Amino acid sequence: MPTSQTARQSTLPATVSAVSDEGPAQLDPLAHPHDTFDVEPPYVPDAAQIAAVEKYDDRFLDRELSWLRFNQRVLELAEDATLPLLERARFLAIFSSNLDEFFMVRVAGLKRRIAAGVAVRAASGMLPREVLETIWTTTRELMQRQALVFNDHLLPELREQGVELLRWDQLDREEQKHCKRLFKERIFPVLTPLAVDPAHPFPYISGLSLNLAVLVRNPQTGTEHFARVKVPPIFKRFVPLGNQRFVPLEDVMGEHLKRLFPGMEVLAAHTFRVTRNEDLEVEEDDAENLLKALEKELLRRKFGPPVRLEVEESIDRKVLDLLVSELGVAEDEVFRLAGPLDLRGLHGIADLPREDLQYPAFVPSTHPFLAEVESSSPVDVFEAVRKHNVLLQHPYDSFATSVQRFLEQAAADPHVLAIKQTLYRTSGDSPIIDALVDAAESGKQVLVIVEIKARFDETNNIRWARKLEHAGCHVVYGLVGLKTHCKLSLVVRDEPEGIRRYTHIGTGNYNPKTARVYEDLGLLTADEVIGEDVAHLFNNLSGISRNATYHTLLVAPDNVRGGLVEQIRQEIAHHQAGRPARIRLKANSVVDEAVIDALYLASQAGVPVQLLVRGICAMRPGVPGLSETMEVRSVLGRFLEHSRVFWFENGGQPTAWIGSADMMHRNLDRRVEVLVRLPDTDVHRIASLLDLAFDPTTVAWDLDSEGVWHRNDGDVHLHGALIERQRRRR
């Protein structure tokens, strides 16, 4: 019989820091236990050295405003005339979807905190109200800049290349006839006009939906009425007309509204869009009902309060006043923009079959250790991994011929006894899920830790969890109070020499689709010590066991923060002893105050510190007396930089860690995260990647001490250079 286990009360200890999202902890941010490394006693700062860091009251940049600067860098890619034209359109779409999620989660959280009267200053020293007001101002500027880029630059340049995004009055007669038939035959049957009058209350406007606010008049009475018509999301955002010409769907609808309101005069139609609070709040005290509680909360998400109203700048003031009043939004939350709204639909334009306007085609290759040798049959992954540790970097190394093949071979191999797997996000038609189902149905023991609280993937993960249960997998929904975010796969195989464990530890999700565009690292290994550590961790996640000591892993919330701080201190000790010392970190976000203060302390001691941060960074590099040896860079481009790397010079014997944890409170305190120390043979490859990223000729953004990012227009694009490296290696 299949077994399942809902979320349990955590058996992991209390977090090692009291840092919260609202501000820094009132603990010594540099004091952490030495319980992870078999090294000489590390450097321990005294009170004066700690005070030398803490005297800089403004040493933390605000995380929300730093995120907006990240999305500004995305917008700058759309403005970059040196990039392929359709890729610039895609970056405009990414900018839009990023901003939507930011409002749904982060802005909604700030509003909730203000409403609850929790006006705690952030680590930056700003109150929630101050942050929110700055967000509104900055966001309005960025959205207007996006509209300018789209209308004044992208549209004319696309037109020159034969791709035209038109408004209704720009269509020729035949195209208008085509749209009329399309409306009559396909669009009209789907539409539902919702009037507002004493008998019809103001309709509910779903989050992120595109809508028409229609003003009509009764010709007999002269009475004006308001109605809302939703733009159906089942149709393409930009209606294809042939010959790579398109028109917004709302334009087609707006021109034919008389069919929806027969006998009435259509006075005006204005496009608008609402963003709502869609963050989840699940009470987890009753662990047995977690699944039901989450499903109930997913229904509530649809009815979250509004946090933003987007309207076209031509909207009638009377209609806008009605929307503001009925939706309950503040004037600051209204964004008047040049249309069209909701540019997420540009993804469809970016996918046009125009190779001349896109990045050159790229096909991932099989890692050399896993490559087929003089045979048309796939390589035996287990045999290859027994010979070599395999350090993968996606998308350059194929996910399909490495991680996916590893699990598919394990599912089919009669010598495999068990598979243990964590799943945070995966694709809708996941071969990973299929492999786990096949393994369970063939009699293997299969344990799957499914994180059903993965934001915006909750519904999918509930569905996959039930499918796995029905196939006979043992499904565990994680630990109460903690999200299971680590990326682990463990295969137990019966071999002539005895039981052997094969392990994959990665920085990214087990998702074949995102693995083609997300840059991630992963280690495939048969190392006995790593395998034993991972086995202990799986037992912690699924059972009552408690193992706090790992030889090759750092595990949050136990000791990721403390372990990294200790490594940073060790670099200070090396520097003071005259040995080589340097710290290089790569992450999506660096916010945690304890880690930041440790890095500041290292910089004050003279240790070179380099950070490669894709998104949020709360550090101030280059501050005299605080961070003069510190450099912070950001690389954005063709692929989404997603891996987390922690590299230390270590007195001339470099060490490197990879894993799932960003330097954020949620990762270090409220998630199960794993970092693995790489075998020495793979550390040089990490060093080579970081060397290229920090090379002065590499295109990147550099952060200054005031929190401003400056574009460095070098000669080398990181992703293009790594593609070329991969081709040479192949």
Q: What is the pLDDT of residues 537-581, one digit of tens each?
A: 999 888 866 666 899 999 999 999 999 999 999 999 999 999 999
Q: Any idea of the CA torsion for 120, 122, 126, 129, to the nearest 10 degrees?
A: -50
Q: How does pLDDT run across 342-389, given as a tens digit for each residue? A: 999 999 999 999 999 999 999 999 999 998 654 557 789 999 999 999
Give the pLDDT score at 23. Answer: 38
pTM of structure: 0.89
**Would you give the DSSP letter of residue 678?**
P
Res 294 pLDDT > 70: no
Q: Would you call 485 a catalytic residue per the annotation? A: yes
pLDDT of residue 372: 67
Query: Given pLDDT bands bounded at 50, 70 and 90, which one contains residue 29?
Result: very low
CATH topology for the 553-728 domain: Endonuclease; Chain A (3.30.870)
Q: Which two tokens stand for residue 155?
A: 């549209």
Torsion angles phi and psi, residue 487, rounded to 5: -115, 95
Cα gap 482→12, rounded to integer Å: 10
For the record, the structure tokens of 352 come out as 């046009």
Amino acid identity of residue 535, one-letter, is A
CATH tag, 58-161: 1.20.58.310
Mean pLDDT check: name the lowest of 12-21, 86-95, 415-424: 12-21
- The phi and psi torsions of 619 (rounded to 5 degrees) equal -90, 155
Strand partners, 489: 421, 504
Question: Could you tell me the strand order of the sheet in which 164-165 lies?
Answer: 164-165, 245-248, 238-242
Tokens coding 446: 């299969």
Between 729 and 370, the higher pLDDT residue: 370
The reported pLDDT for the residue numbered 284 is 45
pLDDT of residue 728: 87
On the question of pLDDT at 253 being above 70, the answer is yes
**Which of helix, strand or coil describes residue 309?**
strand
Of 2 and 206, the one with more pLDDT: 206
Closest CA to 652 of 719, 588, 570, 726: 570
What is the per-residue DSSP string for 418-475? EEEEEES---TT-HHHHHHHHHHHTT-EEEEEE-TTSTT-HHHHHHHHHHHHHHT-EE
CATH architecture of 378-542: 2-Layer Sandwich (3.30)
Question: Whose CA is closest to 627, among 637, 617, 635?
Answer: 617
pLDDT over 70, % of the chain: 87
Q: Kindly write down the DSSP assignment for every residue of 337-355, as one continuous string.
A: ESSPP-GGGHHHHHTSS-G
Give, as one character, the DSSP assignment of residue 197.
B
Alpha helices in 258-380 (DSSP H): 290-301, 317-327, 346-350
* Residue 535 predicted with pLDDT over 80: yes
Residue 642 assigned as binding residue? yes
What is the second-level CATH architecture of the domain 167-341? 2-Layer Sandwich (3.30)
For residues 490 and 460, the answer to whether their CB atoms sit within 8 Å is no
Q: Is 719 annotated as a binding residue?
A: no
Terminal Cα-to-Cα distance of the chain (whole angstroms): 46
* Cβ 482 vs Cβ 671: under 8 Å: yes
Is residue 6 scored above 80 in pLDDT? Answer: no
List Cβ neighbours of 412 (8 Å cut-off, separation of 6 or more): 438, 442
Nearest Cα residue to 645 out of 635, 655, 632: 655
Rounded CA-CA distance 17/405 in Å is: 40
Q: What pLDDT is attached to residue 453?
A: 65
Torsion (CA) 106, 112, 114, 116 in degrees, nearest 10:
-150
- Residue 33: Cβ within 10 Å count: 11
pLDDT band at 500; cut points 50, 70, 90: very high
Q: Which residue has the tokens 């030398």?
A: 52
According to DSSP, the β-strands at 306-312 and 265-276 are antiparallel
- 485, 536, 575, 665: the catalytic one is 485
Percentage of the chain beyond pLDDT 90 is 75
How confident is residue 258, by pLDDT bands cut at 50, 70 and 90?
very high
Contact by Cβ (8 Å): 247, 209 = no
Here the tokens at position 108 are 């909604």
Opening angle at CA 644, ends 643 and 645, nearest 5: 115
Give the count of alpha carbons within 13 A of 688, CB side only: 9
Task: HSE, CB side, 13 Å, CA atoms: give it for residue 625.
Answer: 8
- Average pLDDT of span 470-485: 82
DSSP symbol at 378: P
256 marked ligand binding residue: no
Query: Torsions phi, psi of 602, nearest 5?
Result: -65, -40
Q: What is the domain partition of the chain in residue ranges?
A: 58-161, 167-341, 378-542, 553-728
Intrachain domains 58-161 and 378-542 with the same fold: no
Cis peptide before 431 (omega within 30 of 0): no
| pLDDT bucket at 299, cuts 50 / 70 / 90 | low
DSSP state of 231: -
Listed residue (419, 434, 370) closest to 397, CA to CA:
370
Q: Express each pLDDT in 145-169 by its tens digit.
A: 999 999 999 999 999 999 999 999 9
Residue type, 651: G
The residue among 640, 633, 583 whose CA lies nearest residue 613 is 633
